[in-house]
Amino acid sequence: MGFKIIKYGSPILRKKSVEITENDNVALIVENLFSTLKKEGGLGLAGPQVGILKQIFVIDTSPLTEEDSLITKIENAIVNPEIVGLSEEKEYYNEGCLSIPGIYEDVLRPETIDVRYYDINFNLIEERLDGIKARIFQHEYDHLEGILFIDRLSPLKRKLLSGKLNKIKKG
Ligand code: CO
């Protein structure tokens, strides 16, 4: 089981996702997102990246915890998320994306965020996130809004990447 990853250039990645409802088979979507993520070896995967334009994503930090035992392992499915607060303090972190293979760049984002979301059983969760969890959450949340991490780079940086991006677009 699993999904095929939609790559940069597809208009699907630029669309806004709709809310998950109780009619959606959340358990099945989550199972497929996790198996696809494990197979592809990323840290997070959002619905739109597999053609599901719904507000859902999964986080799995096991590729990092295998390298660094100080990082706590997080395996979490996030439904209908909202970011309700952003810290003024920002930091750079080197990001990549399964939809934009081969490109890794430092992206500036708030360090700490306050979030609301539902778990797979539709329990409301409210928490403050920092570190790697805040980083992945913001990257995946952007996917639900049709935003990619390269949109958050400087115009010059993006220009320098345009050749590589065009190559991905052409497949
Ligand atoms: Co991504």
pLDDT of residue 1: 61
CA of 106 to the centre of ligand 1 (A): 14
Q: Where are the domains of the chain?
A: 11-170
> Domain 11-170: what homologous superfamily?
Peptide deformylase (3.90.45.10)
Mean pLDDT calculated for residue range 4-21 = 97
Strand, coil or helix: 43: coil
pLDDT of residue 72: 72
CA of 21 to the centre of ligand 1 (A): 23
Residues with catalytic annotation?
140
CA of 52 to the centre of ligand 1 (A): 14
CA of 32 to the centre of ligand 1 (A): 16
Whether the per-residue pLDDT at 42 is higher than 80: the answer is yes
Whether this model's pTM surpasses 0.85: yes
> Cα torsion for 107, 112, 113, 114, to the nearest 10°?
170
Q: Nearest CA to 61 among 84, 80, 45?
A: 45
In order of 23, 59, 77, 116, the CA distances from 122 in angstroms are 12, 17, 11, 12
Residue 73 or residue 91, greater confidence = 91
Whether the per-residue pLDDT at 70 is higher than 80: the answer is no
